[in-house]
Each structure stands twice: as C-alpha cells, then as structure tokens.
Amino acid sequence: MISDWFKTKKPRKLPRSPASGPAPAAAPEKFDAIVVGAGPAGSTAAYFMARDGLDVLLLERGPFPGAKNCGGAAVIAEQIHDLFPNFWEEFPYERIVTSLEYWWLNEDSAVTAGFTSGRLAAAPYNRLTVKRKNFYAWLAAKAVAAGAALRLGHRVASVILDDGRTVGVRLAPPQSAAVLADIVVLADGANSLLAEQAGLIPRLSPLNLSLYAKETIALAPETIEERFNLPPGQGAIISLIGHPTAGYNGTASIHTFRDSVNINAGIAVNSFAAGGFGPGDLLARIKKHPRIAPLLAGGVTLEYGAAMIPEGGYHAIPPLVHPGLLIAGDAGSLVNGTHGINLAMWSGRFAAKAAYAAKTSRDFSAAKLSLYRTLLDESFVLQNMRANAKAAALQRDAPYLFDLYSRMLNEAAYLSVRAYPMPIKAKRRFVWRKVTSLQPVGKILADAWRVLKVVKG
Ligand SMILES: Cc1cc2nc3c(=O)[nH]c(=O)nc-3n(C[C@H](O)[C@H](O)[C@H](O)COP(=O)(O)OP(=O)(O)OC[C@H]3O[C@@H](n4cnc5c(N)ncnc54)[C@H](O)[C@@H]3O)c2cc1C
C-alpha cells in the first residue's frame, strides 16, 4: 500500500529518559538539515538533500504525510517530470487531464470556453489529477528511500535561534525536545506561524490570504466519464468564475478523479468577513447551480475540508533566506494563482541545492544561502510570479471584476440568443444598452485598461 512506503525506513530514536529518576540531560540530536513539513516543498527538499548525501530529518506533525489535507489536486506533470523523471510510472495518479474549461457563471447560466485534446493524453503529461494523501505519501517515501529520516506526529513548536542564526528546532509535546541542524528548511505551508513567531517574516495580511473550502464527492468512474464527456481514464478541470465566489474575486473549480469529483472555492479571508458568510456557503452555491447540479447528482460526499492559500502574489513574498534557514513552498507565499504544488516542489529542489552548497563550504550565512533566491529568480517559479505580479493588486482593488463581468457576459449571451421581433441593428443597440446598464462604458474601458496592464506585466 502506498501509505506504507514511507514507513520502510526505521526512524532514529530520540533520546529517552530512563523510567525512574530524573533524566540526565541528553545532548540534542544533530543533523545536517531539518525540514519542517512533509508536503510537496518539504519532501522534495528532503529528497534532494538526502540524495546528495546530507543527513536529513523530515518532521511532519500529521500521523501520515497529507493527513492535514483533503481530497485531491491537479499537478503539472511536465514540471514534476524534470524533478522525478517518468514519475507517473510508479505513482498511481487519478486521471490524465485532457479537458480544460472555463465557465463564467451567473446564478442560472454559464458562458463557457475550453480546450480538449487527445494530444494531452501523451507522456510527459500536461496535468494529472492526484489524490493528496497518495501524492504526499509517495513523495515522502522518495525522501525516505534517498536516506532522509521521517518522523510523523512531530510538530515543531519553534525554531531555535542563536545570535540571529537558526541552529535547530524545538518539538512540541509529547517529544518536547530540541533538535539541532546546520540548516532548517521551513516548509510548513500557508501562513507559517513558525517563521512569523521567529520574526523572520511579517504577519500575513488577510488581504493576501485566501480561505478555500473543498468537498470530495464520490461518483462511479463511468458516470464521471459520461457526464464530463471524457474517454476512459481521462479527466477534466473546470474553472468556475463569477457566481460561486459570491460577489468577490476568488476562484472555484471542479476536478475529476478516478471515482470522485472535487469542488472547491475560495476568496480572501477579509472578503468572508465583509460578506458575512463562510466557506461552506461558496460550495453550496456551486452545488445548487443548475448547470453544475446535474454533474454531481447522486454523488455521496466523502470528505470536506478548508485550507488557506497565500495569494498575495510576487509582492507578498517575504524574505526567504536567513542565516541557517530557508523558507520554501506556501510558507514563502510561492503560489501563482492556484498553482502551488509545482512551485512548492521546485522551491524545495532549489532549497536543497543551496543547502548542499552551504554544507560543502561550511558556510551557513544568509549570503551563502542566497543561492536559493538566485535559483528561484532565474527559474519559472519567480519569473512567472513576477509576470503576474499586478494580478493580486488588481483583484484587491477591483473586487467586483469576476462577478460583474460574468453577469454581463451571461446577460449579453442570453439577450443575444433570444429572437426578438426587431431588426438586427435595433437588437444590437438593445443588447448593448441592457449590458452597459450594468456597468457604464467608461468604467468598462477603465477596467479593460487595468486588465491589459496586468497582462502586459
Ligand atoms: C482547496 C485547495 C486546492 C488546491 N488545489 C491545487 C491544485 O489543484 N494544484 C496545485 O498545484 N496547487 C493547489 N493548491 C495549492 C497547494 O495545495 C499548495 O500550494 C501546496 O500544497 C504547497 O505545498 P507546501 O509543501 O508548501 O505546503 P503544504 O502542502 O501545506 O504542506 C505543509 C506540511 O507541513 C506540515 N506542518 C505544518 N506545520 C508544521 C509544524 N509546525 N511541524 C511539523 N509539520 C508541520 C503540514 O502538516 C503539511 O503536511 C490548492 C490549495 C487548496 C487550499
């Protein structure tokens, strides 16, 4: 079973106190590197550091990797292939995504666009849907097989600083031990409290943090293929824009897995406060939508969860390099739109490279470790984020964009398909007047200009 893979390496034992009498103060364990969090960023960093011969400890608070996540996700296989060649041959993915759709929704209709191609079904695949637990377990198993020691149920309570340099971590109860290392890689996910408490990054603004709800709904594989018009084994991702995010900018989507479907939706934390509703309300909007409800009919809810995504974009990236410490993945706000897993893995890869260079030169200063930032800067990770740098501000400054223009699009489509007893020119004028009654032409042009500036970068 995949969940057993990561158990193959026997974890080293932490020093134990004798049963009776006060324990002599045992010297803390020491590693070349400690990685906090066995998610995509942490397990990738641990794998490459261990593969390069470093003595690595990978700490995960959950009882198994992925325990703190739910449902599934889509990964960009082409980018993971560069890290783990032909990984799909050993990893049980769910579906090969060959259909990518965008639906602009109002409350009762949808304007859609999409791309479907059998060419996407050929390796190296573009996107694969994966079950989180399987993916996290597989990745952690790779790190263990490369020689990293994985300890589950170990929550890091704080990083240990000595004269401004990170020298290890302190574990929360029940272990309550200090563990030392030359380098710590913080890969503890969105809203890294460890980095914040240590004063390494500023507190994340609720404007830059989105809360997502996710529901996994079981459906038979044939039902999924019939309803989503898919050949056997192939999958679809539908991005939902407008109605699901209740008048605020945010994202929502439907992902197909082998025998289940995920729906998820999220908006900025402060938008929930402003709107006075919760993440579950967004899922309810999706499930009730007349265009979506038939796709989910008869499905049984398997899981439900909520999680955060740091969506502040390029300008919200905190300092990632500190003496003796690197921040990777979501903890460093390395998320581009809703793409996070691939960026997390690549940041883990680059953190490992920088850690190896520091170890071989015995120099753990921020200057030496800044190789990490250089590698990120030179790669698609930060170049893509930089290209989208203005998108986050646009979403914040014009929170009505997704909802308003989805409604306008649907209204224009509805009025256009209606056959009114009037000449075509009069009908065009009528549709234009109706649609621009939702947003004056001057404001439409101003919004178009704003979007253009974001696209131009
Ligand atoms: C609803 C939703 C849907 C998404 N869908 C997609 C998608 O389809 N494709 C995509 O690419 N991205 C998606 N993302 C984003 C993606 O999940 C993240 O970008 C990615 O998981 C980041 O990886 P990470 O390793 O940095 O953090 P995480 O995956 O969050 O892993 C962090 C790990 O650290 C552990 N941890 C935390 N604190 C401690 C501690 N103190 N001590 C020990 N361990 C700790 C956690 O238990 C966890 O295992 C989605 C996110 C959400 C919320």
Tens of pLDDT, residues 305-362: 999 999 899 999 999 999 999 999 999 999 987 689 999 999 999 999 999 999 999 9
Using pLDDT thresholds of 50, 70 and 90, give the confidence band for residue 71. confident
- Topology agreement, domain 2-86+131-202+318-378 and domain 98-127+207-310: no
How many Å lie between the centroid of ligand 1 and the Cα of residue 14? 27
Superfamily for the 2-86+131-202+318-378 domain:
FAD/NAD(P)-binding domain (3.50.50.60)
pLDDT of residue 410: 97
Distance 329 CA to ligand 1 centre (A): 8
Q: For the residues 63-90, what does the mean pLDDT come to? A: 92
Confirm if 203 and 196 have CB atoms less than 8 A apart: yes
Q: Measure 39 CA to ligand 1 centroid, in angstroms.
A: 6
User: How far away, in angstroms, is 15 Cα from ligand 1 center?
Assistant: 30
Indicate if ligand 1 lies below 6 Å from the C-beta of 38: yes
68 within ligand 1 shell (Cβ under 6 A): yes
Q: With beta carbons less than 8 A apart as the criterion, state whether 215 and 303 touch.
A: yes
More confident residue, 315 or 21: 315
Residue closest by Cα to atom 20 of ligand 1? 341
For residue 19, the model assigns a pLDDT of 45
Quote the tokens at residue 300. Answer: 């049984």
User: Is the Cα torsion angle 135, 137, 138, 139 positive or negative in sign?
Assistant: positive
Tokens describing residue 375: 């590698």
The confidence score (pLDDT) of residue 322 equals 98
The 3-class secondary structure across the chain, one letter per residue, is CHHHHCCCCCCCCCCCCCCCCCCCCCCCEEEEEEEECCCHHHHHHHHHHHHCCCCEEEECCCCCCCCCCCCEEEEEHHHHHCCCCCHHHCCCCCEEEEEEEEEEECCCCEEEEEEECHHHHCCCCCEEEEEHHHHHHHHHHHHHHCCCEEECCCCEEEEEEECCEEEEEEECCCCCCEEEEEEEEECCCCCCHHHHHCCCCCCCCCCCEEEEEEEEEECCHHHHHHHCCCCCCEEEEEEEEEHHHCCCCEEEEEEECCCEEEEEEEEEHHHHHHHCCCHHHHHHHHHHCCCCHHHHCCCEEEEEEEEEEECCCHHHCCCCEECCEEECHHHHCCCECCECHHHHHHHHHHHHHHHHHHHHHCCCCHHHHCHHHHHHHHCHHHHHHHHCHHHHHHHHHCCCHHHHHHHHHHHHHHHHHCCCCCCHHHHHHHHHHHHHCCCCHHHHHHHHHHHHHHHHC
- The closest-lying atom of ligand 1 relative to the alpha carbon of residue 43 is 25
At 2 the pLDDT is 47
189 lines ligand 1 (CB under 6 A): yes
Atom 33 of ligand 1 has which residue's CA nearest to it?
37
* Mean pLDDT across 375-404: 90
% residues pLDDT > 90 (the chain): 83
pLDDT of residue 425: 92
Distance 280 CA to ligand 1 centre (A): 20
Q: Can you tell me which atom of ligand 1 is nearest the CA of 237?
A: 8
What pLDDT score does 23 carry? 58
291, 410 contact by CB (below 8 A):
no
Residue 430 has pLDDT above 80, yes or no: yes
Averaged confidence pLDDT in the chain: 92
Q: What is the model's pLDDT at position 9?
A: 45
Cα of 338 vs centre of ligand 1, distance in Å, is: 12
> Which residue has the least CA distance to atom 35 on ligand 1?
37
pLDDT cut 70: percent of the chain above it: 94
Mean per-residue pLDDT, 85-107: 97
Cβ of residue 60 lying under 6 Å from some atom of ligand 1: yes
Question: Which of 6, 43, 58, 60 to probe ligand 1 with, by most ligand atoms within 8 A of CB?
Answer: 60
- Where exactly are the structural domains of the chain? 2-86+131-202+318-378, 98-127+207-310, 397-456
Is 73's C-beta closer than 6 angstroms to any atom of ligand 1?
yes
| Ligand 1 center–CA 189 separation, angstroms | 5
Q: Quote the pLDDT of residue 3.
A: 47
Q: Which of 338, 346, 376, 380 to mutate to test the pocket of ligand 1 (most atoms within 8 A of CB)?
A: 338
Q: How far apart are CA 266 and CA 210, in angstroms?
A: 6
Residue 24 banded pLDDT, cuts 50, 70, 90: low
pLDDT of residue 22: 57
pLDDT of residue 1: 46
How sure is the predictor about 233, in pLDDT bands with cuts at 50, 70 and 90? Answer: very high
Q: Specify whether the CB–CB gap between 60 and 326 falls below 8 A.
A: no
Among candidates 81, 90, 138, 67, which has minimal Cα distance to 346? 81
The CATH architecture that domain 98-127+207-310 belongs to is 2-Layer Sandwich (3.30)
- Establish whether residue 329 lines the binding site of ligand 1, counting it when its CB lies within 6 angstroms of any ligand atom: yes
Q: What is the pLDDT of residue 393?
A: 82
For residue 20, pLDDT over 70 is answered with no
Q: Cα of 330 to ligand 1 centre, how many Å? A: 7
Q: Which residue has the higher pLDDT, 421 or 16?
A: 421
Q: For ligand 1, atom 41, name the residue with the nearest CA.
A: 156
pLDDT in tens, 145-196: 999 999 999 999 999 999 999 999 999 999 999 999 999 999 999 989 999 9
Instruction: Determine whether the shortest distance from the Cβ of 71 to ligand 1 is under 6 A.
Output: no
**pLDDT one-digit tens code per residue, 347-372:** 999 999 999 999 999 999 999 999 99
For the Cβ of 212 lying below 6 angstroms from any atom of ligand 1, the answer is yes
Contacts of 196 (CB under 8 A, 6+ apart): 202, 203, 204
Ligand 1 site, residue 70, Cβ cutoff 6 A: no
CA dihedral 164, 168, 169, 175 (to 10 degrees): -150
Which residue's CA is the closest to the ligand 1 atom numbered 6? 73
Does ligand 1 come within 6 angstroms of the Cβ of 283?
no
